Amino acid sequence: MKLQDAIEKRRSIRKFSDKKVSWDMVLEAIDAANQAPFAGNINNLQFIIVSDQENKNQLAKSSQQTWIADAPYIVVVCAETKKLENHYDKLGIKYSKQQAGAAIENFLLKITDMKLASCWIGAFSEEQIKSTLKIPEKYDVEAILPIGKEKGKIKAPRKHNLETSIHWDKWGVQKKPIIFKDPSTSGS
Ligand X SMILES: Cc1cc2nc3c(=O)[nH]c(=O)nc-3n(C[C@H](O)[C@H](O)[C@H](O)COP(=O)(O)O)c2cc1C
Q: Which of residues 3, 123, 156, 179 is near ligand X by CB under 6 A?
A: 123
CA gap 75, 56 in Å, rounded: 10
**84 CB-contact burial (10 Å; exposed 0-12 / middle 13-18 / buried 19+):** buried
Q: Does 66 bind ligand X (CB under 6 A)?
A: no
Site stretch for ligand X (CB under 6 A), options 11-19, 54-62, 77-85, 172-180: 11-19
CA angle 59/62/63 to nearest 5° reads 90
Cα–Cα distance for residue pair 95/114, rounded to 1 Å: 29
- The residue at minimum Cβ distance from ligand X is 122
Does position 174 interact with ligand X (CB under 6 A)? The reply is no
Q: Would you count residue 120 as binding ligand X (CB under 6 A)?
A: yes
Q: Assess 153 for contact with ligand X (CB under 6 A).
A: no
Coil, strand or helix at 166: coil
Least CB distance to ligand X at residue 143 (A): 7
Amino acid code (one letter) for 35 = Q
Catalog residues that contact ligand X under the rule CB under 6 A. 11-12, 14, 65, 119-123, 158
